[in-house]
């Protein structure tokens, strides 16, 4: 339902954009060259999509779309963080977080490059295509490759589906706590053993 609402909002904004301030393809003359020897005139033109001539800025439509998608990403990560105790096999908190970080890195790297090559059409096209390709393939890989791996490996041996829900790889903190707990148990056992052996040693000394 949430996804449908987000898509519906996107659709409404895009339809309003097309109706109120549609993009227009405008071609302008760049230069005109006349070859006096042949009498051939060469006209160089350049075309691009530009905003509507009215006073409505495209950011009036882009800004809500960006806000909706960023808010959706934040809400998704918050919801998945609440179920992080479930096994990675059945929830995607780690992989969605990695995908979000991956997208942010691409945006942070792609925008400066895109601004730098704004005047070069071929370079701008290459950067935009590269960012779109890396974003889509990276997100799809982070979402689906773990599923493929878990489906191929199968359930841990001797466990049912219900039992595997709570299996998670222990973190470094959990491992360190476990090690310290074991060491504490060994220390207490050693102290207890020494206390039990102390009276026996004193009795032997008295007997001798």
pLDDT above 80: residue 141: yes
Give the pLDDT band (50/70/90) at residue 157.
confident
Q: How confident is the model at residue 203 (pLDDT cuts 50, 70, 90)?
A: low
CA angle 108, 112, 116 (to 5 degrees): 165
User: d(Cα 153, Cα 145) in Å, to the nearest integer?
Assistant: 12
First to last CA, the chain: 86
197: phi then psi, degrees, rounded to nearest 5: -80, -20
CA distance 156 to 162: 12
pLDDT surpasses 90 at 12:
yes
Tokens read off for 166: 């709570």
Does the pLDDT value for residue 152 go beyond 80?
yes
Whole-angstrom distance, CA of residue 50 vs CA of residue 25: 6
Give me the pLDDT at residue 15, please.
Answer: 92
For 182, the token pair is 């074991």
Higher pLDDT, 115 or 162: 115
pLDDT score of 98 more than 70: yes
Residue 35, SS3 per DSSP: strand
pLDDT for the residue numbered 185: 57
pLDDT at 179: 44
- 92 or 130, which is more confident? 130
pLDDT (average), residues 115-143: 86
- Give every CB contact of residue 97 below 8 A, 6+ residues apart in sequence: 77, 80
Mean pLDDT of the chain, nearest integer: 78
DSSP 3-state assignment of 132? helix
- pLDDT attached to residue 177: 45
Tell me what the mean pLDDT of segment 148-164 comes to. 75
Residue range 104-114, pLDDT digits in tens: 888 888 888 88
More confident residue, 53 or 149: 149
DSSP string, 11-32: HHHHHHHHHHS--EEEEEEEEE
Residues 57, 54: Cα–Cα separation, whole Å = 8
**pTM for this prediction:** 0.57
Question: CA 164 → CA 70, 79, 90, 155, 156, distances in Å?
Answer: 33, 21, 9, 7, 7
Check residues 172 and 177 and name the one with the higher pLDDT.
172
Beta-bridge partner residues of 44: 31
Mean pLDDT over residues 141-146, rounded? 88
From the CB of residue 180, how many other CB atoms can be counted at a distance below 10 Å? 10
């Amino acid at each position: 339902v949430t996804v449908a609402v987000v898509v519906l909002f996107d659709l409404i904004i895009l339809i309003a954009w097309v109706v109120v301030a549609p993009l227009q393809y405008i071609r302008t003359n760049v230069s005109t060259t006349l070859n006096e020897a042949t009498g051939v005139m060469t006209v160089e033109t350049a075309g691009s999509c530009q905003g509507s001539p009215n006073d409505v800025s495209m950011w009036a439509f882009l800004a809500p779309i960006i806000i909706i998608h960023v808010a959706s990403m934040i809400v998704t990560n918050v919801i998945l963080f609440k179920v992080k105790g479930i096994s990675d096999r059945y929830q995607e908190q780690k992989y969605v977080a990695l995908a979000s970080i991956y997208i942010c890195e691409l945006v942070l790297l792609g925008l400066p490059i895109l601004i730098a090559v704004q005047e070069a059409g071929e370079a701008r096209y290459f950067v935009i295509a590269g960012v779109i390709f890396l974003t889509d393939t990276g997100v799809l890989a982070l979402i689906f490759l773990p599923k493929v791996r878990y489906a191929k490996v199968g359930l841990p041996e001797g466990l049912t589906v219900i039992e595997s829900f709570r299996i998670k790889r222990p973190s470094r903190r959990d491992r360190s706590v476990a090690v310290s707990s074991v060491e504490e148990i060994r220390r207490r056992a050693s102290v207890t053993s020494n206390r039990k052996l102390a009276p026996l040693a004193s009795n032997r000394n008295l007997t001798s």
